[in-house]
Amino acid sequence: MGVRDVLKRIVGGVALAAVSIIAEAKTTVTSQPFGKMPDGTPVEIYSLSDGAFEARIATYGGVVVSLKTPDRSGKTVDVVLGFDDLDGYVANFNGSADAYFGAVIGRYANRIAHGSFTLDGHKYSLPLNNGANTLHGGPHGFNNVVWKAKPVANGVELSYLSKDGEAGYPGNLTATVRYTLVKGDLRIEYSATADKNTIVNLTNHSYFNLAGQGDILNHQLTLYASRFTPVDAGLIPTGELKAVESTAFDFRKATAVGSRINADDAQLHLGRGYDHNWVLDSGSGKLVEAAELYDPSSGRLLKVLTDQPGIQFYSGNFLDGSIKGKGGKPDGLHAALCLETQHFPDSPNHPDFPSAELKPGQRYHTVTVYSFSTR
């Protein structure tokens, strides 16, 4: 066989491989413009549709803009809070009432006390954006940047280079977030590498309301966690891992979110409701079920699987109707809730907590699945 024939065969093989990847993908992935940032940077929105379910992801903040899922009779609604257009997100994410609707959170999800931590003997100071503390990466976190995007089988892969010193964190950090949607499973795969010792804790900040309207007080929640991390007045963990047994924090059996939310409990007062990190019993680093959320009215069921050590259950306590969300509708108290898989808040200042450090040569890699079905 001549060189030409050999080449033809190889090229044919590559083409065949490409065809078979696309043939395996069950989900259609399309993209369209979603507007422009104030500086003119174009933003795209990707639609992932597997028939019954559809997720739309923006390259600004990696935001899950909408998530349409059927109820037990097949009727589809959008089960996440957000805005109708890019301007809504940009205004909110740069304003004082930043709700982080649907966004990727980084470099460090949740709070870092006084925006300060020490690594290799060097003290780092981050800009404060939550009283005396830094929240969700600071004012220019990963929710507030435009990511590069490429379509992949069943989804989209976003990538972002956070430069050494950006938002106060050490090292160039290359982060990728891959969203795929298959048969109602929205899978989020986070990866990162760095060229200096740094810290990383990525999550997604979707606000779920499985009824698509009203509040989430009748949603039944299960958290596979026997302990949680109590907080101080700034919502910084005290360091204690407290047993949930005999407290309003025991969700080991499915319990309505609203059944104890107004209990006379010091931790509930501090959080204005639930706004705490639960210590997942699995703690194995393996992808297992961490939480289950069920809406009896619609039959929608959301299972959250993760390999992370913690989950923040936030019951939408800061929503007070001042944010006008989709369709201009005000998002009132407890209009939705968040289940943010994560390292424990303020881990860099708690040597006893699982470490959120990332060293050069290591690869941060974690998976969370939001799995939708009905019952």
- Active-site residue identified among 219, 276, 340, 343: 340
Q: How far is the CB of 339 from ligand GAL (least distance, A)?
A: 10
Task: For residue 136, indicate whether it is catalytic.
Answer: no
Contact 205, 102 (CB under 8 A): yes
Q: How far is the CB of 353 from ligand GAL (least distance, A)?
A: 16
- Active-site residue identified among 205, 219, 276, 343: 205
What are the residues binding ligand GAL (CB under 6 A)? 99-100, 135, 235, 275, 312, 314, 318, 338, 340
Judged by beta carbon, residue 336 or residue 369, the one nearer ligand GAL is 336
Please name the residues in contact with 372: beta carbons below 8 A apart, sequence gap of 6 or more. 53, 67, 69, 79, 184, 185, 186, 300, 301, 302
Judged by beta carbon, residue 211 or residue 338, the one nearer ligand GAL is 338
- Long-range contacts from 32-36, C-beta under 8 angstroms, 24+ separation: 34/58, 34/59, 34/60, 34/65, 34/85, 34/86, 35/85, 35/86, 35/87, 36/86
Judged by beta carbon, residue 103 or residue 149, the one nearer ligand GAL is 103
Q: Which of 182, 203, 211 is nearest to 81 (CA)?
A: 211
Q: How far is the CB of 314 from ligand GAL (least distance, A)?
A: 4
Q: How far is the CB of 175 from ligand GAL (least distance, A)?
A: 19
Q: How far is the CB of 33 from ligand GAL (least distance, A)?
A: 28
Cα separation, 242 vs 134, whole angstroms: 24
Beta-bridge partners for 111: 135
Tokens describing residue 265: 């409990």
Judged by beta carbon, residue 222 or residue 277, the one nearer ligand GAL is 277
Task: For residue 205, indicate whether it is catalytic.
Answer: yes
Phi, psi of 39 (to 5 degrees): -90, 5
Strands (E), 230-334: 242-243, 255-256, 275-279, 288-294, 300-306, 310-314
Q: What residues act catalytically?
A: 205, 340
